[in-house]
Amino acid sequence: MKTVTVELGEQRRYPIYIGENLLGDPQWLTPFIRGKQVCIVTNTTVAPLYLSQVEDALAGYQVDVVVLPDGEQYKTTATIEEIYNCLLEKRHNRTTTIIALGGGVVGDMAGFAAATYQRGVDFIQIPTTLLSQVDSSVGGKTGVNHRLGKNMIGAFHQPNCVVIDTSVLDSLPQRELSAGLAEVIKYGLISDREFYDWLNDNLAALMEREPRVLSEAIERSCQNKAKVVAADEREGGVRAILNLGHTFGHAIEAAKGYGNWLHGEAVAAGMVLAAELSHIMGWLSSRDVDHLCELLKQAHLPTSPPIDMSPEQFLDIMSLDKKVIDGGLRLVLLESIGQALVTDKATPEQIRQAILAEFQ
């Protein structure tokens, strides 16, 4: 078992536990529960697999459960109502703890409910997909989608702890595993060239779910994210580099309908677009872009946007992104492999050129 700590100041640090068969062990949960009430939020896919283990670990507590439908298309304010309804009907008070048991959609919605119920209650993340283990469960971003934009309604609300049971990845569909690897590759691109090189050497083992290699990839991803979050909790500066590929990716998700492209798939294509734009800006070589494409292909991830999306459609949707400041679109690009920057210097014509290049 490994521990990564997110340092947000002496009174607000929290641990990320990484290991096998952690779900049924109360020692990773009960020290972080203040009261006697717990609400587990999960979904129809995860509940039959892992809910009973978590319930067993919480013997002695009032445990209520909300089982949500599975899918990005359900990440809405209407679905959040189901969580509020349970909390109110079961009379949960301000010392309750909400536990998110599921992937990124469950974690984002449970966290947003925790941030807003009675103006904020405790919550714990138990992520069950690779993508949520290395990305969305860490850092305190919570929220829901709007038909005009992804994650446009939300709050920063840090968990008390994150419990990553790597054994749950055995049941993860291969497409979901690949989607998670997009975020893993992102960490190497933005701030850790050594990790990027390590991924090149170990991607085949990751695709085969070799436990030791998976555990190391998760740990190093969490270390990279924890370092960025500690430096900039609310994305006022450096934390924005975590959005590499996301502005393009969110446009793909919005255009194609949430859930039709998995988040990690959209981010993968978005990272290629960001790399191509970085090449156009004079920072990356064409060889760097080609190498990234090959790595993503080995992970069974898309390297081109949907064929029916035009540059104008991208620009129109991206203009609604949260990262638009005073009319200028801020994008995360790459000065080199392992070094990201945030810039608003890319022109619409350069962005259009980058998009068109991926259709050649």
2 is catalytic: no
Out of 150, 225, 279, 323, pick the active-site residue.
Answer: 225
Q: DSSP 3-state assignment of 17?
A: strand
297 is catalytic: no
145 is catalytic: no
User: Taking the C-alpha atoms of 139, 241, 119 and 96 in order, what is their torsion angle to the nearest 10 degrees?
Assistant: -10
157 is catalytic: no
Out of 92, 250, 279, 323, pick the active-site residue.
Answer: 250
Out of 92, 186, 220, 246, pick the active-site residue.
Answer: 246
Count Cβ atoms within 10 A of the Cβ of residue 260 and give its class: 0-12 exposed, 13-18 middle, 19 or more buried: middle
193 is catalytic: no
Out of 263, 279, 323, 330, pick the active-site residue.
Answer: 263
What's 301's DSSP letter?
A: -
Out of 75, 92, 141, 279, pick the active-site residue.
Answer: 141
Out of 145, 151, 160, 243, pick the active-site residue.
Answer: 243
Out of 176, 235, 253, 265, pick the active-site residue.
Answer: 235
250 is catalytic: yes
Neighbouring C-beta atoms of residue 59, cutoff 10 Å: 9
Out of 239, 279, 323, 330, pick the active-site residue.
Answer: 239
Out of 10, 89, 119, 287, pick the active-site residue.
Answer: 119
Q: DSSP 3-state assignment of 309?
A: coil
119 is catalytic: yes
Q: Please state, in angstroms and rounded to a whole number, the distance separating the CA atoms of residues 130 and 140.
A: 17
Measured between alpha carbons, how far is residue 267 from residues 223, 245, 314, 337 in Å? 20, 5, 14, 17
Out of 72, 176, 183, 276, pick the active-site residue.
Answer: 183
58, amino acid identity = L
Task: Enter the tokens of residue 292.
Answer: 């990234």
239 is catalytic: yes
186 is catalytic: no
Q: Which residue has the tokens 């790399």?
A: 275
Task: Enter the tokens of residue 238.
Answer: 């450096």
263 is catalytic: yes
Q: Please state, in angstroms and rounded to a whole number, the distance separating the CA atoms of residues 55 and 128.
A: 16
Which residues have a catalytic role annotated? 119, 141, 183, 225, 235, 239, 243, 246, 250, 263
